[in-house]
């Protein structure tokens, strides 16, 4: 397959942060019983699914490195979210998480390229899922999310849920903000 044919087969994606973007911000969330969607999140993900974008979650999970919970807890929570989304007619196409932190414990205590604001999770997803980063979006409630998207070549949107209201004053010039994930989904699908 030539490079031009390969480019034609690349997919558009919307990369979503998890905590504070899809679900209510709760520090070091891993317990299923503490999970709750932000209002409109399931409908927003449904809208993105219908628009033909892949929906890919990219989330920093330093609670693993800090010893608060383990990777299996992260996976179980993501499986729970998948079930809730399926019941609402929505889906996440892929989950990526970074369990590292420089001040963590054991094998997780390291500098890595996957912890946002670095774009490693987005690059990994692009390679594994044939994503065209230049026609994709990153949506999150922290400047680290916005910077990861920009570093990967995506358009980025800051949502004003979670930490978004506090982070808005640091928003890079030219980056848009939306009140929540639904407003971001409407913006993305209107383009």
What DSSP assignment string belongs to 24-77? ---TT---GGG--BPTTHHHHHHHHHHTT-EEEEEEE-HHHHTTSS-HHHHHHH
pLDDT of residue 2: 43
Neighbouring C-beta atoms of residue 116, cutoff 10 Å: 25
Respond yes or no: is residue 19 known to be catalytic.
yes
Contact 53, 92 (CB under 8 A): no
Mean pLDDT, rounded, for 1-24: 81
Collapsing DSSP to helix, strand or coil, 127 comes out as helix
Contact 138, 156 (CB under 8 A): yes
Q: Which of 19, 141, 145, 180 is catalytic?
A: 19
Query: What is the per-residue pLDDT across 112-136, written as a single tens digit (0 to 9) for each?
Result: 999 999 999 999 999 999 999 999 9
pLDDT of residue 191: 84
Mean pLDDT, rounded, for 54-82: 98
DSSP-derived letter for residue 173 is T
Task: Report the distance separating Cα 107 and Cα 98, nearest Å.
Answer: 13
Residue 1, pLDDT above cutoff 60: no
Query: What is the per-residue pLDDT across 27-66, written as a single tens digit (0 to 9) for each?
Result: 999 999 999 999 999 999 999 999 999 999 999 999 999 9
- CA-based nearest residue to 172, from 191, 148, 188: 148
pTM over 0.85: yes
Residue 4, pLDDT above cutoff 70: no
Task: Report the distance separating Cα 183 and Cα 74, nearest Å.
Answer: 27
Question: Cα(first)–Cα(last) distance of the chain, in Å?
Answer: 29
Number of domains in the chain: 1
- Its domain, for residue 141, covers 3-190
- Greatest distance between any 2 Cα atoms in the chain: 49
The CATH number linked to 79 is 3.40.50.1000
Task: Report the distance separating Cα 144 and Cα 77, nearest Å.
Answer: 22
């Amino acid at each position: 397959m030539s490079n031009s044919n390969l480019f034609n087969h690349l997919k558009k994606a919307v990369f979503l942060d998890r905590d504070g973007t899809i679900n209510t911000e709760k520090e070091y969330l891993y317990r299923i019983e503490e999970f709750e969607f932000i209002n409109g999140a399931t409908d927003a993900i449904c809208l993105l699914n219908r628009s033909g974008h892949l929906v890919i979650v990219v989330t920093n999970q330093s609670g693993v490195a800090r010893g608060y919970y383990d990777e299996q807890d992260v996976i179980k929570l993501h499986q729970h979210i998948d079930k809730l989304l399926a019941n609402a007619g929505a889906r996440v196409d892929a989950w990526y998480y970074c369990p590292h932190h420089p001040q963590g414990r054991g094998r997780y205590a390291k500098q890595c390229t996957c912890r946002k604001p670095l774009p490693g999770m987005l690059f990994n997803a692009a390679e594994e899922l044939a994503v065209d980063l230049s026609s994709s979006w990153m949506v999150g409630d922290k400047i680290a999310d916005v910077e990861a998207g920009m570093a990967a070549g995506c358009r980025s949107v800051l949502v004003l849920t979670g930490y978004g209201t506090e982070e808005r004053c640091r928003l890079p010039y030219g980056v848009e903000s939306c009140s929540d994930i639904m407003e971001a989904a409407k913006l993305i699908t209107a383009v």
